[in-house]
A and B are shown apart, each in its own frame.
Chain A
Amino acid sequence: MSSPPSPSPNRWFKALRRTRLGEPCLKTYPLECVELLKRARAAFQAGRTAKEGFRLAQLEAVVRMLVEHECDFVDALGRDLHKPRFETVVSELILVKNEALHAINNLKKWMQPQHVERNLSTTLDECLVVNEPLGVVLIMGTWCSPVQLCLVPLVGAIAAGNCAMINPPEYTSHTAELLHRLIPSYLDNECFHVIVTGTNDLAQIVGLKFEHVFFIGNREEAGRVAQAAALTLTPVTLVLGGKNPCYVDQQCDITTTAQRIAWARFHNAGQSAVAPDYILCHVDVKERLVQALKCCLMQFYGSDPRESRSFGRMVNLETFNRTRDLLWRSGKVAVGGQVIEAEKYIAPTILTEVVESDPIMQHEVFGPVLPILTVKNVDEAVAFINKQEKPLCVYAYSSNSKVISRLMSETSSGSFCSNDSILQSLMVVLPFGGVGASGMGSYHGRYSFDTFSHRKSCLLRGTRFECVTYLRYPPYEDRNLSLMTWASTLSQKSQGWCQIL
Chain B
Amino acid sequence: MSQEQKAVARARKAFLTGRSKPLEHRIRQLKNLQRLFVERQTEISDAMKKDLNKSEVGTQLFETLGLEGEINLAIKKLKEWAAPRPVEKNLLTLSDTVYIQPEPLGVVLIIGAWNYPWAVTIQPLIGAMAAGNAAVVKPSEVCAHTSKVMEYLLPIYIDKELYPVVTGGVPETQELLRQRFDHIFYTGNSMVGRLIMEAAAKHLTPVTLELGGKSPCYIDKNCDISIACRRITWGKYTNCGQTCIAPDYILCEPSIQDRVIEEVKKSIEDFYTDNPKTCTDYGRIINQRHFKRIMAMTEDSTVAVGGDSDESDCYIAPTVLRDVKPEAKVMQEEIFGPLLPVLPVGGLDEAIKFINQGEKPLALYIFSPDKKVIKRMIDETSSGGVLANDCLVHYSVSTLPFGGVGNSGMGSYHGKFSFDQLSHLRGCLIKELKMEGVNSMRYPPHTPKKLGWARFFILKNPDLGWMGRMALLAILAVVAAVVLQVSYGGREERDINEY
Contacts and interface: CB of A to CB of B under 8 A. Distances in A.
Contact of B386 (A84, A301, A459): A459
Nearest to B424: A435
A229 B459 CA distance: 36
Interface residues of A, number: 113
Nearest to A90: B454
A55 B378 CA distance: 20
A86 B402 CA distance: 46
B393 A263 contact: no
Interface in A380-413: 397, 399, 404, 408, 412-413
A497 B398 contact: yes
Contacts of A21: none
Interface in B78-124: 87-90, 92-93, 98, 100-101, 103, 105-106
A317 interface: no
A300 to B, nearest CB: 4
A42 B105 CA distance: 39
A501 B197 contact: no
Given A132-B382, A469-B231, A478-B57, A498 B393 contact: yes
Contact of B98 (A311, A430, A463, A473): A430
Contact of B494 (A45, A84, A105, A299): A299
Residue with the greatest number of chain B CB neighbours at <10 A, chosen from A98, A416, A425, A485: A416
Given A257-B433, A429-B87, A412 B103 contact: yes
A477 interface: yes
Given A461-B388, A476-B61, A90 B451 contact: yes
A379 interface: no
A408 B426 CA distance: 10
B455 interface: yes
B188 interface: no
B378 A130 contact: yes
A105 B454 CA distance: 21
A253 B439 CA distance: 15
B378 A458 contact: yes
B228 interface: yes
Interface string A89-107: 1100011011001100100
Interface stretch (B65-73, B167-175, B337-345): B65-73
Contacts of B439: 259-260, 420
Nearest to B198: A230
Contacts of A497: 65-66, 68-70, 72-73, 396, 398
Nearest to A104: B460
Given A231-B194, A301-B444, A496-B69, A416 B427 contact: yes
Contacts of A480: 57
B327 interface: no
Nearest to B423: A435
A198 interface: no
B55 interface: yes
Given A233-B406, A484-B65, A223 B400 contact: no
Interface in A425-469: 425-432, 435-437, 439-442, 454-463, 466, 469
A211 B77 CA distance: 34
Interface in B420-466: 424-433, 436, 439, 442-446, 450-451, 454-455, 458-460, 462-463
B73 A496 contact: yes
B190 interface: yes
Contacts of B224: 463
Contacts of A102: 460
Contacts of A84: 444, 446
Contact of B426 (A414, A455, A495): A414
Contacts of B87: 429-430
A302 B385 CA distance: 61
B257 to A, nearest CB: 20
Interface in A279-332: 299-302, 308-311
Interface stretch (B144-152, B156-164, B202-210, B300-308): B202-210
A235 interface: yes
Contacts of A10: none
A492 B72 contact: yes
Interface stretch (A113-121, A174-182, A338-346, A358-366): A113-121
Given A86-B450, A416-B426, A458-B386, A429 B98 contact: yes
Given A105-B462, A460-B389, A223 B228 contact: no
Interface in B393-411: 393-394, 396-402, 405-407, 410-411
A94 B197 CA distance: 37
Instruction: State the majority secondary structure of interface residues on B.
Output: mixed
Given A412-B424, A416-B426, A496-B397, A427 B93 contact: yes
B394 A457 contact: yes
B207 to A, nearest CB: 9
Range of interface residues on B (Cβ < 8 Å): 35 or more
B231 to A, nearest CB: 7
Given A84-B446, A308-B445, A408-B101, A418 B429 contact: yes
A111 interface: no
A179 B382 CA distance: 32
B390 A233 contact: no
A183 interface: no
A463 B77 CA distance: 32
Contacts of A472: 61, 234
B400 A404 contact: no
A495 B73 contact: yes
A429 B445 contact: no
Contacts of A97: 459-460
A463 B400 contact: no
Given A101-B460, A227-B201, A233-B406, A263 B443 contact: yes
Contact of B433 (A86, A94, A256, A457): A256
A415 B427 contact: yes
A485 B385 CA distance: 26
A71 interface: no
A457 B374 CA distance: 14
Nearest to B105: A435
Given A404-B430, A459-B387, A488-B65, A454 B202 contact: no
A457 B363 CA distance: 9
B383 interface: yes
A459 B281 CA distance: 27
Contacts of A311: 444
Contacts of B198: 227, 230-231
B201 to A, nearest CB: 4
A419 B432 contact: yes
Contacts of B399: 116-119, 127, 495-496
A252 to B, nearest CB: 6
Contacts of B346: none
Contact of B65 (A222, A299, A430, A485): A485
A410 to B, nearest CB: 8
B58 interface: yes
A474 interface: yes
A424 interface: yes
B76 interface: yes
A355 interface: no
Residue with the greatest number of chain A CB neighbours at <10 A, chosen from B388, B412, B494: B388
A259 B204 contact: no
Contacts of B326: none
Given A412-B424, A462-B389, A495-B398, A454 B405 contact: yes
8 contacts: A102-B460, A118-B399, A416-B101, A416-B426, A474-B234, A474-B281, A475-B271, A476-B55
Which A-B residue pairs are the 3 nearest by beta carbons?
A497-B69, A86-B446, A430-B427
